[in-house]
Amino acid sequence: MKRLLNSLNNIWSFVILFAFLIVGLLLILPLYNIFVSSFIDNETGSFTLQNYIDILGKGYYRKAIYNSIFVGFSSMFGALLIGIPLAFFTTRFKIRGKSVISTLAILALVSPPFIGAYAWITMLGSNGWLRHGFESIGIPMPTIYGPLGMIIVFSLKLYPFVYLLTSGALSNINSSLEDAAESLGYPPFSKFIHVTLPLILPAISTGALLAFVLSLADFGTPSIIGRDFRVLSTVAYNLFTSEMGGNPGLASTVSILLILVSLIFVYMQRIIIRNKDFGSDMLNPPEIKKLTRLTTIPVHFLCYFIVFLSSMPSLVVIYNSFRKTSGPVFQSGFGLDSYRRVINDVPDAIFNSFLFSVSAVILIVLCGTLIGYVVARKPSILTGSLDSMLMIPYIVPGVVLGLGFIVSFNSKPIVLTGTAIIIILVIFIRRLPYSVRSSVSILKQINIGIEEAAASLGAGPAKTFVKITLPLMLPGVFAGAMMAFITAINELSSSIILYVGGTVTMPVRIYLSVLDGEFGTAASLSTILLVATGIAVYTIIRLTDSDERVFL
Amino acid sequence: MSKVQLINLKKKYSEVEALKQFTLEIQSGELFTLLGPSGCGKTTLLRTIAGFNRQDSGNIMIDGLEIDNLPAYRRDIGMVFQDYAIFPHMSVEDNIAFGLRNREVSGQELKTRVSEALETVQLSGLEKRMPNELSGGQQQRVGLARALVIQPKILLMDEPLSNLDAKLRIELREDIRQIQKNFGTTTIYVTHDQEEALVISDRICIMRSGQMVQVGTPWEIYNKPVDHFVASFVGNMIFLPWPLAGMKDQNLDKLREIESFSGLNIDVSDNDKYQIGIRPEEVVISKQNSVLDSNVISLSGIVEKISFSGREAQLHVKLIDGNMIMANISRPDESFLEEVGKTVYLELPYKAVMFFEKDNGLRC
């Protein structure tokens, strides 16, 4: 105990203490309340297992569980099917305009998923122009609504995770290993199967896991194009916000199930990659081969087709935003009607979005850098458990955390519901782990000897951090801040639950406009979001020399 | 046992000529080393023989058969890599069996051959280990076993020891030499370490900027270097201007009669044509001026620095004309270490002195 007190006697101990406070209040408490509330009867307020019996027993809910897993799995396979070949071609062959391909993939990655859903409606919805176009030449096209549409939207939205992780792994393979297989008599394809594939499996499975968990957690897409096809996230939202008073108990139970499904997949992936981290220390980078005349056209076509298809929603949205509208209906010709509308009607959404994201980013950077430092540099049971707890937001869907915040902060002692602060805080805690992660990985690249040198020259811990470590971390911290901004300004799934009239944000406004059929408003707001996101991406690429994996 | 012929091989990387008209014959069963500084094209040559690079022109023949159009996986070669290239996701056993499985060897035969290979490289008992549980030296032994077990026509080794520490390097190079002799597999060995090349090889090919400079046995390479480059690259060589300032009084004419030079066409009185070289171990050093000897060049100088490395000490001596000369003293007694700043006397035996032409570096 005495030793513990002694060790607390410096600046970093306060950081650790503060971090526990934040995590306890903003993460553990809301999830605990959800957990408790899933065992409470709505009417009587007493302990019950009825919620679980209902969820697992009723066809309606069981179907939602099944649907969620089905869509998650299919989207994951879709993302793998697109991402792995793209990664293979771009890392192993001379492809013209490689940076164009990776930039478009990054744009698909950072653009909010609900924009994709919405853009596909304008293309392949009941009145979609693409669908009409195909029908006019006699090719019947199904609408984008329903499970298949969701899977397509998710696959095209989430493949960049697989692509970036896999291409990173592919270009990190020690090429001697592949040469060795070849010298032992393995032709190219069996070489890939026996040597390359097992070595990139950890990266692929991480990409697959991200695709699965994110499609499971997403709220906007199923809500916009799912129609009658219910998944867990939309069911939880509807249960909570239902006009018949809502059912927080059942909503909590669904939330717990969502977390559980994600957890099972995280665990499965852990098993798959156990003992398979073959970090390659001696780098003998793989040779980038020239394509033959016969293969170059199909390979280029495939690569560009993929990234074009995935960035199509953004292009369509931007195009739509400049179309003439009259009321909610698009007219022929171009104009700035939609922009005039959003500036007149919903300036607060734009203002709120920027205010909330910038505030959240400042908090995220401050806390993330400091917490990252203690996790990386002061290893102990305390910081270790802090690190593990910060994994939680990765698997908790925004809808669930939003519910947790409402349950936790709508009564004394802390009343935050309906304020801007609650939205800023939910964004903050959801994105804090990313910032901590990136700080930790930057610090791992900074030789600890530099800090020891500073200490040996008489600088105290605070001075060492501010004068030595922080300047070295700065480029990485900046990139992390920009990434946090991108995710913050595009946040929908938690703010959709927490917003009130005065705290509406752009994503929420877009979502509501799409539901109301106000496609012009949705398009111009989406364009503003895309531009803000694009500028952030550009500054990351331009001002820091981070590689593309910073966007993961 | 296979013979390898390289005929007029050429390879260009963008503007750099990595191989210029390279022609060479490697006898079956020999351990043949490509030695040269980095960037000399030795690794390019090895990888071209392996089939990882395609030459721009010229032919490669194994046992008289052209293999230019065979991809690497059909050339029947074994390769050992600088970074071991042990498959990290397979056990030692599976690594070694990898090439055999592809050759449809299975069952008992597979087992027997794998365990024999393990025995050869002295790793019996480590079958089930994963590569990350092995030391660098053990990994390279696995690499060697994996390449040998398929009984390749030729074995290619690309700087196999350069990532190991000094002690292990010496131990493993002896083993490689022994195993190669036992198997009799024609082996092409690439290294930039001249000592390693001398110890391990039957013959050595010295390379510089994509060209062959000299081919010969280790003894020939060391004692009869064709030029300044080989002489300085293999072993230590002190180079001095000719004639030496301190020997002006000695009768140059007499030199012509000296046995070591009589066969050579050297005009010893030419003041501007030659540079001489001598290995430090040939320089005799003493504290007293010795009796005049017509078989040696006698010089004197002042000791500037002494580096003591246990087994021997190296004295850096400044000659009258300002040139430095190094001399080794084996098992130096302590008094020698106090010689800095004092005058010492040096003898360079004529038979150990090599003459190099100044303008083209060739040895006379």
Report residue A125's pLDDT band, with 50, 70 and 90 as the boundaries: confident
- A283 vs chain B: nearest CA distance in angstroms? 9
> Per-residue pLDDT tens for A188-246?
999 999 999 999 999 999 999 999 999 999 999 999 998 889 999 999 998 888 755 67
Is A276–B89 a contact, with Cβ atoms under 8 angstroms apart?
yes
Alpha-carbon distance of B256 to B353, in angstroms, equals 14
Q: Say if residue A9's pLDDT is above 60.
A: no
Q: Which residues of B touch A199 (CB under 8 A)?
A: 88-89
Contact A190 B102 (CB under 8 A): yes
Mean pLDDT rounded to a whole number for chain A: 88
Q: What is the predicted pLDDT for the residue at A421?
A: 94
- ipTM of this predicted structure: 0.84
All residues of chain A having their beta carbon less than 8 Å from the beta carbon of residue B89 are 198-199, 276, 278
Determine contact: B91 vs chain A, CB below 8 A. Answer: no
- pLDDT per residue as tens digits for the range B206-236: 999 999 999 999 999 999 999 999 999 998 8
Chain A residues within 8 A of B151 when measuring between CB atoms: none
Residue A550 has pLDDT above 80, yes or no: no
Q: Is B184 on the interface with A (CB under 8 A)?
A: no
Res A502 pLDDT > 60? yes
Closest partner residue to B72 among A182, A276, A282, by Cβ?
Answer: A182
Please give the residue of chain B at the shortest CA–CA distance from A189: B73
Nearest-Cα distance to chain B for A538, in Å, is 33
Distance CA A400, CA A494 (A): 7
User: H or E segment at A453?
Assistant: helix A448-456
If interface means Cβ-Cβ distance under 8 Å, which residues of chain A face chain B? 174, 176-177, 179-187, 190-191, 194-195, 198-199, 275-276, 278, 280, 282, 284
Optimal mutation site among B13, B43, B53, B73, interface A, most CBs of chain A within 10 A? B73
> What pLDDT does residue A221 have?
92
Of residues A452 and B129, more confidently modeled: B129
Residue spans of alpha helices (H) in A173-292: 175-183, 188-191, 197-217, 220-225, 232-241, 248-273
**B214, containing H or E segment:** strand B211-216
Tell me the pLDDT band of B246, cut-offs 50, 70 and 90: low
Question: Which pair of tokens denotes residue A499?
Answer: 């917003």
The answer, for B13 touching chain A at a CB cutoff of 8 Å, is no
pTM, two decimals, is 0.84
Lowest mean pLDDT among A224-228, A329-333, A352-356, B175-179: A329-333
Hey, is the C-beta of B169 within 8 angstroms of any chain A C-beta? no
In this prediction, residue A148 carries a pLDDT of: 93
User: Per the CB < 8 Å rule, is B79 touching A180?
Assistant: yes
Question: Is residue B142 scored above 90 in pLDDT?
Answer: yes
Question: Residue B143: is its pLDDT beyond 90?
Answer: yes
pLDDT above 90 covers a percentage of chain B that reads 59
Q: B2 CA to chain A: closest CA distance, Å?
A: 17
pLDDT of residue B309: 84
If contacts are CB pairs under 8 Å, which of residues 305-344 in chain B contact chain A? Answer: none
Q: How far apart are CA A422 and CA A429, in angstroms?
A: 11
Contact yes or no for A185 and B150 at CB 8 A: yes
Report the residue of chain B nearest A184, measured CA to CA.
B99
pLDDT per residue over A403-451, tens digit each?
999 989 988 778 888 899 999 999 999 999 988 988 888 888 888 888 8
- Asked if residue B248 has pLDDT above 80, the reply is no
Q: What is the pLDDT of residues A152-174, one digit of tens each?
A: 999 999 999 999 999 988 988 88
- Nearest residue to B93 (alpha-carbon basis) of B64, B127, B69, B63: B127
Q: Which residue of B has its CA nearest to A185?
A: B73
The Cα A124–Cα B185 span in angstroms is 67
Instruction: Tell me the nearest-neighbour CA distance from A163 into chain B, angstroms.
Output: 23
Note whether B207 contacts A: Cβ–Cβ < 8 A.
Answer: no
Write out chain A residues lying below 8 Å of B164, CB-based: none
Distances (CA, A) of A42 to A51, A269, A401, A406: 9, 36, 20, 16
Q: Please indicate if any CB of chain A lies within 8 Å of the CB of B74.
A: yes
Task: Kindly report the nearest CA distance between residue B195 and chain A, in angstroms.
Answer: 25
- Residue contacts between A and B (CB atoms, under 8 Å): 72
Band of the pLDDT at B261, cuts 50, 70, 90? low
Q: Detail the DSSP E strand segments found in B15-158.
A: 16-26, 31-35, 57-62, 65-66, 77-80, 154-158
Residue where the block lists tokens 């410096």: A10
pLDDT (tens digit, 9 = 90+) per residue, A50-103? 889 988 888 899 999 999 999 999 999 999 999 999 999 999 999 998 888 988
CA-based radius of gyration for chain A: 25
Yes or no: say if B108 and A206 are a contact pair by the CB < 8 Å rule: no
User: Would you give the DSSP letter of residue A287?
Assistant: P
- Contacts of A162 by beta carbon, 8 Å cutoff, 6+ apart: A79, A80, A82, A83, A84, A87, A204, A207, A208, A211
- Mean pLDDT value of segment B159-163: 92
Q: Residues 44 to 63 of B: which have CB under 8 A from any A CB? A: 50-52
Radius of gyration of chain B (CA): 25
* Cβ–Cβ gap B85/A177 under 8 Å: yes
Contacts of A198 in chain B (CB under 8 A): 89
The CA angle A264-A265-A271, to the nearest 5 degrees, is 95
Give the per-residue pLDDT at A155: 95
